[in-house]
Structure 1
């Protein structure tokens, strides 16, 4: 991991590094390892030179796939084959930093949903955590299941709330047992000469394949799921009794869906929103540990 850009000794008043400034800034809560690799990812040659080309290529390709899918909606539909391509591409062409951000996202997202489910009284919601540890796990429809889990969680949660006449409300004693303080340095990702793609470039490259091999419903749902960031953040704010972290959410207003052509950029924002929300919960867990607060899990008594 390249670290010299994070040394204050490298700072030049006449040519300040924007990524050093953002790394040193603590106004936004975020896991330290995530912050480092994200800044390194932004500073990579791939982000500077390949990304603009891939953004252009992605939009043009998606336009023609959109037309193809209109006339032949069932052609090429294969989630299994898609995830074989994704696993192969992630392993061989994506940088270790970008892979870390991608893999970590599933862990973070799963823990946030588990936190919500574990802190709503009178409602029992089962979650399906996705915590991939290697590229073989990607082949099990990992990305598609991530989107399905999110929508199914919102549907199941709100149907049970309505059925029992309950609402999500402030919880004084929070259960944070499912939240991990993980720096995510236990998975070693390939670092060969071909592993050069930054996060945004990788997403731009893979998005047309996502569109091609998924049904129209699956692809549109995946794109729309990014705007559920606001929904999930509202749930957490109701539990915490504070709306402060809602200002960190940029993918908003899920009832007014955005164009699928902006899915790649919105996906990066989605990842950042999940990371910041997760870090808020990590900090709460640390504060409880310092104060000696131990909260029993739902259905348990201490």
Structure 2
């Protein structure tokens, strides 16, 4: 049956709009589907990805040479925020803001339940684009590395915690009404086209080690999924991680897809844990054949 609310959507996208097999917040799903329907995703993003991919590898090569390193974090973030506010679709901007919140929540769940005292909670929860000048992408990466470093080996026991033993002190449920992205007629770029434009800028304005760590940090998704799966008694969570095996360092190849799948992963884990926090599902039910998110 066709979706009466979106009659122009293809049958595949209509199926995605109602499929609940994977944990995904309904708001995030609708934002993503709306962004996919941006014309730029299908005529602009492919050539951008190809052309800028070549430029990215050239910058990567030059940055790896034994030359003096430089960084410009403030300039990088100002350019990104200004560009997003003027040219990137509202749906993509909301997905970017959500990503800060979802990853902060996932890390804070580990901070609260990881069994290590004194680990500082993550506080990056921007609600508007100008707030990203402080809650920057660089700080976002550093918060991940710091949390994983300070958590170390985590709990000595492999036993899962009972639902009433889980702690949520630093968890912040995401309400879309809290986000504000002013709309402009010039905001036409989809999420993936915008990322294709940003990736060369990141490589240029970070040091070679900062950029190498940033693009390999996606693979910590695997370690995070294993840790949370042990805590809640769900061994299937590592299957949600596309980026795996963090000990194998990679370059900027296939960066767009790895970046996007990192975003999906954090949305998946956020939705899984939020459902658990609200008491709407038992600690392990991803393989019981029932829908888990509405």
> Counterparts of 1:67 and 1:289 in 2: how far apart (Å)?
48
Larger displacement relative to structure 2 (250-259 or 143-152): 250-259
**Within 5 A, what are the aligned runs for 1:1-302?**
6-7=3-4, 10=7, 16-71=10-65, 73-74=67-68, 77-121=71-115, 123-140=117-134, 142-158=136-152, 161=154, 166-167=156-157, 169-172=159-162, 173-287=165-279
Structure 2 SS opposite 1:126: coil
1:182-225, Cα deviation, whole Å (9 max, x unpaired)? 24233231321211111111111101000000000010100000
Unaligned segments of structure 2, at least 5 residues: 283-294
- TM-score with structure 2 length normalisation? 0.87
User: Is the CA contact (8 Å cut-off) linking 1:31 and 1:183 kept in structure 2?
Assistant: no
Closer/same/farther in 2, CA of residues 184 and 8 from structure 1, 3 Å limit? closer
Alpha-carbon offset, residue 80 of structure 1: 1.3
Structure 1 SS opposite 2:176: coil
- TM-score with structure 1 length normalisation? 0.85
RMSD of the alignment, in Å?
2.4
Number of residue pairs the alignment of both structures matches:
279
Moved over 4 A (4+): none
User: Is the CA contact (8 Å cut-off) linking 1:111 and 1:129 kept in structure 2?
Assistant: no
> Counterparts of 2:6 and 2:216 in 1: how far apart (Å)?
44
> Counterparts of 1:65 and 1:193 in 2: how far apart (Å)?
33
Unaligned segments of structure 1, at least 5 residues: 291-302
Alpha-carbon offset, residue 58 of structure 1: 1.7
Structure with the higher helix share, 1 or 2:
1
Closer/same/farther in 2, CA of residues 148 and 73 from structure 1, 3 Å limit? farther
User: Is the CA contact (8 Å cut-off) linking 2:55 and 2:200 kept in structure 1?
Assistant: yes
Closer/same/farther in 2, CA of residues 92 and 74 from structure 1, 3 Å limit? farther
